Amino acid sequence: METSIGAPVSPALGYAPATVQPRVARHRTYLMCRPTHFTVSYAINAWMDPSVGVDTALAVAQWEEIRRTYERLGHTVHLLPEQAGLPDMVFAANGGFSVGGVFYGAQFTYPQRAAERFAHQDWYAGDGWPVVPGTFTNEGEGDFTYLPGRDLVLAGYGFRTDVRAHAEAGRVLGRAVVSLELVDPRFYHLDTALFVLDDQTICYFPGAFGEKTRELLAELFPGALLATEEDALAFGLNAVSDGLNVLLPASATGLAAPLEDLGYRTVLLADSELRKAGGSVKCCTAELRP
Ligand code: ARG
């Protein structure tokens, strides 16, 4: 899809930005893990069904397209070596969370993924990062995100990450943390319900959050783009934005239109296989914030 800066906004969209600002991409560095050993052999979220067949070669092809897209857009992608026996390792977002050159390591909720954290810790340590393993359950960027323009961490809880990890991450990373309650098991990680659009703004599906959290989000982000339940079910919130380009699942066509109207360029990516494990574009991507 092409950008439509300055295009008239349809009243049917339910929002009406006065002006469409020019969007600016900022160079990013990401960590990804090739899904060589990807499959669905256990069920730890509402989307996983081990009786459904997975085409691992197709998963690799879909993942390669995500990686190629980042590189085509000028971003740097590092690769975490994949390991047999860890089929969810492709979801590199869950291994930890970095801000300001410090890496706060994950502590997985389920034993099936527990060993992944060592691979992440080793990778960051080898890349020269101070590594602080979390002592409370937390699934990294699955439940943490950061807004540089506000110097603010947003953190989800309710299904995976222990709310005590929010305070711990805040101390380790030296940042204020806003805790957000997730209430719908279909949207079990923060990154299935909310993503950072640019340094100041977010896009989210209010229905995934508890009432108090919805009030808080409305207060903190009056300019946010609100997604519908349909967008969320299409995994549209599992998107990655560089400030201009937004990579999102091919099924999220309903969310692509308002993003384009706001001046973003959308890139729709096939994710049929990764989705069988309850993940998509963002889950495959950890941002490194030096
Ligand atoms: N099967 C994985 C799990 O349930 C999917 C993780 C998706 N990752 C994410 N960042 N939402 O843990």
- Residue 37, number of CB atoms within 10 A of its CB: 16
Residue at 129: amino acid letter? W
Whether 88 shows a pLDDT value over 60: the answer reads: yes
Q: What is the pLDDT of residue 18?
A: 53
**Best mutation site among 45, 91, 112, 160 for ligand 1, i.e. most ligand atoms within 8 A of its Cβ?**
91
Mean pLDDT, the chain, whole residue set? 94
For residue 224, give the 3-state DSSP assignment: coil
Structure-token match 């989307």, residue found? 47
What is the 3 state secondary structure string of 117-153? HHHHHHHHHHCCCCEEECCCCECHHHCEEEECCCCEE
105 lines ligand 1 (CB under 6 A): no
Whether 126 shows a pLDDT value over 50: the answer reads: yes
pLDDT tens-digit readout, 210-246: 999 999 999 999 999 999 999 999 999 999 999 999 9
Q: What is the pLDDT of residue 5?
A: 36
Task: Find the 279 Cα to ligand 1 centroid distance in Å.
Answer: 5
pLDDT tens-digit readout, 192-201: 999 999 999 9
Q: Report pTM.
A: 0.93
Whether 289 shows a pLDDT value over 90: the answer reads: yes
Region 171-184: mean pLDDT is: 98
Question: 200 — phi, psi (to 5°)?
Answer: -120, -25
Residue at 89: amino acid letter? M
Walk me through the domains of the chain, giving residue ranges and CATH numbers: 23-288 (3.75.10.10)
Query: Ligand 1 atom closest to Cα of 93?
Result: 10
pLDDT tens-digit readout, 249-285: 999 999 999 999 999 999 999 999 999 999 999 999 9
